[in-house]
Chain A
Amino acid sequence: MTDITLSPANSPSRNWGRIALRWLLFTLLGLFALFYLMPLFVMVTTSLKSLEEIRTGSLVAFPREVTFEAWRTAWSGACTGIQCEGLRPYFWNSVILAIPAVAISTILGAINGYVIAQWKFKGANLIFSLMLFGCFIPFQVVLLPMARMLGMMGIAGTIPGLIFVHVIYGIGFTTLFFRNYYVSIPQELVKAAKVDGAGFFRIFWSIFLPLSLPIIVVTVIWQFTQIWNDFLFGVSFSQAGTQPVTVALNNIVNSTTGVKEYNVDMAAAIIAALPTLLVYVVAGKYFIRGLTAGSVKG
């Protein structure tokens, strides 16, 4: 679209102005890049330093001597309160929590979106509005009753309990994603398939699902990021041993016993961030699409 280089530039003075502007532009962009990269850089370098070097060296200096000791401690030795098993068990908690929660909420979202977009019935729009609104509530408002409900269902403090919570409060968004995707598919496709003799599930399975790969990727990434990064549900509905990685990270960082091991804190933070960072690097395009779809379209 707009393009500075397209503007007419005949006189040499204007040319100089343009080059100067271009330099200013790159300088600014570079500075911003530094601002965003600095914390990551600091995290990585700190995690590779010894405590001694941290105390004596500069925050932004490269490690004089690279050591992976902090990583080892963070993974398998750091204390989260009384236990000192590192992040490892909690990392796996997050994995076995996220996989079913993502899968179930995505499947439900797909079929809900399919109904709302393609099988409109009276009241479908109202139902959609109610589901959509559910995405926006501050979850504090459901914490207390949910804690009691999980107790009544006998899954309080368990990983299935957390999966249940993430599925329930994920449906709104997953439905929104699939609904907005399916709504752009012409209704005639369903009509044609009906005339061809296919029923509700057959049409979904043979025609809509094969079309849905992009939106499935977007939804899975969105849900995975949300659930992996969640802290509020994790801290509210887990107990010792079932905590997800974010809660464990916070416990490690804020545990008051012993010497503060900043290098271990940073290594633990990177470990906790690694899965979502990886997803972002590998499938950034879909990640951004999810972010914008989740916020722009109503």
Chain B
Amino acid sequence: MAPILDIKNLYKNYGSVEILKDINVAIEPGDFLVLVGPSGCGKSTLLNCIAGLEPITAGTIDIGGRDMTEVSPKDRDIAMVFQSYALYPTMSVAKNITFGMKVRGVDQATQEKKLNEVAQQLQIEPLLQRRPGQLSGGQRQRVAMGRALVRDPKLFLFDEPLSNLDAKLRVEMRSEIKKLHQNLNATMVYVTHDQIEAMTLATKIVVLKGGIVQQIGSPAEIYNTPANLFVADFMGSPAMNLIPARAKANGKGTQIEIERAGAAPLVLTDTHAKDLPEDVILGLRPEDIAEAGFRAGEDVQEADCLIDMVEPAGADTYVVSQLGGKQVTARLHAETNARSGENLSLAFDLSKVSYFAPESGERLN
């Protein structure tokens, strides 16, 4: 299938400041692309470039197989939902939704029909005659989506649409957007700084930092094999443990040695890793460190660790231990007997381990 959105060698400068550097992204029809990164990484600028709201400095943007680089937003066959919803404050909900059609000269009957379809789909029929000021945050969110849906575009663009909602509503709307994506089989590009949103919604994630693409991949790829220290640290909550360690090749594979203050070094043996430099950063997610006996597998290795802190979180209990000079978090079952100040045998699942080069931060395995 031809890509429906194809960005090639895109650069964006403000004066002499490079905001986006050499962006290359392509998605297929039906994809849900999430642009994620910390604030100031350029993700919203990239979305605005796709929409045509910001001119780009170099590169091309194809939408639906046509070069749209110089085309104005109204002719790009896109619809956009904004962070502040950007509802027209003096128009009723119905007029907000039909404004685009009215501007384009769509006849009254078609406007009515489409409005009713969308209102039904989003369950906002009772709100149609209200003003945006009379709506709750969640309702405004729906109206903003309605305004996008009614256009039936090739591409939906979402600019942090959930960040103004409270936590509970955010989770609700998140699943609703996901449902919508599945029902419409639409193609969506979605900007967020929330990595959980990215993981739950995306079929494809682009992680951005400082205007540079850090990694492109499916949520599983991003989560399990982060391309560098930044992605490893940014995606996942609690964050991946990143522990300085020393690697030595031996007969059975590679011996990993982690310093511990006031105790002998922790030594693990990874039978798969090969050709590691001496200094590495070992990355292991909290859920890949369990209480001994609760995780089995040929790559699981157990060791006694001094527990500094125990944090029950309901479904799980997190324990923290000092390893390699870092606070290392392990995710244990809720009924654990771990006590702070005591030793506990922890199981490290090395089948899930990542290694990074300390200087460049790049992934090594």
A–B contact with Cβ pairs below 8 Å: the answer is yes
Chain A interfacial positions (CB closer than 8 Å to B): 186, 188-189, 191-198, 202, 206-207, 210-211
What are 17 A-B contacts defined by CB distance under 8 Å? A186-B84, A188-B82, A188-B159, A189-B86, A191-B53, A191-B73, A192-B80, A192-B86, A192-B88, A193-B88, A195-B78, A196-B74, A196-B103, A198-B103, A202-B103, A206-B88, A211-B89
Contact call B83/A189, Cβ cutoff below 8 A? no
- In the assembled complex, B90 has its CB within 8 A of some CB on chain A: yes
Contact call B90/A191, Cβ cutoff below 8 A? no
- In the assembled complex, B99 has its CB within 8 A of some CB on chain A: yes
Residues in A whose Cβ lies below 8 Å from that of B88: 189, 192-193, 206-207
Contact call B99/A206, Cβ cutoff below 8 A? yes
Q: How large is the interface on B (under 10, 10 to 19, 20 to 34, 35 or more residues)?
A: 20 to 34
Query: Complex formed: what's the CA distance from A202 to B83 in Å?
Result: 23
- In the assembled complex, B116 has its CB within 8 A of some CB on chain A: no
Contact call B103/A197, Cβ cutoff below 8 A? yes
Those of B36-88 within 8 Å (CB) of chain A? 48, 51, 53, 72-74, 78-80, 82-84, 86-88
Contact call B86/A186, Cβ cutoff below 8 A? yes
Residues in B whose Cβ lies below 8 Å from that of A194: 53, 72-74
Query: Complex formed: what's the CA distance from A197 to B105 in Å?
Result: 10
Those of B146-161 within 8 Å (CB) of chain A? 147, 159
Contact call A197/B100, Cβ cutoff below 8 A? yes
- In the assembled complex, B168 has its CB within 8 A of some CB on chain A: no
Also in contact, A196 and B82, with CB within 8 A (given A191-B51, A191-B53): no
Contact call A210/B104, Cβ cutoff below 8 A? no
Known contacts A186-B84, A188-B159, A198-B103; 19 further A-B pairs (Cβ under 8 A): A188-B82, A188-B84, A191-B48, A191-B73, A192-B87, A192-B147, A193-B99, A195-B51, A195-B79, A195-B80, A195-B100, A196-B100, A197-B74, A197-B100, A198-B99, A206-B99, A207-B91, A210-B91, A211-B89
Q: Which of A191, A198, A211 has the most CB of B within 10 A?
A: A191
Residues in B whose Cβ lies below 8 Å from that of A195: 51, 53, 73-74, 78-80, 100
Q: Mark B186-215, 1 if CB is under 8 A from A, else 0.
A: 000000000000000000000000000000
Query: Complex formed: what's the CA distance from A198 to B105 in Å?
Result: 11
Residues in A whose Cβ lies below 8 Å from that of B51: 191, 195
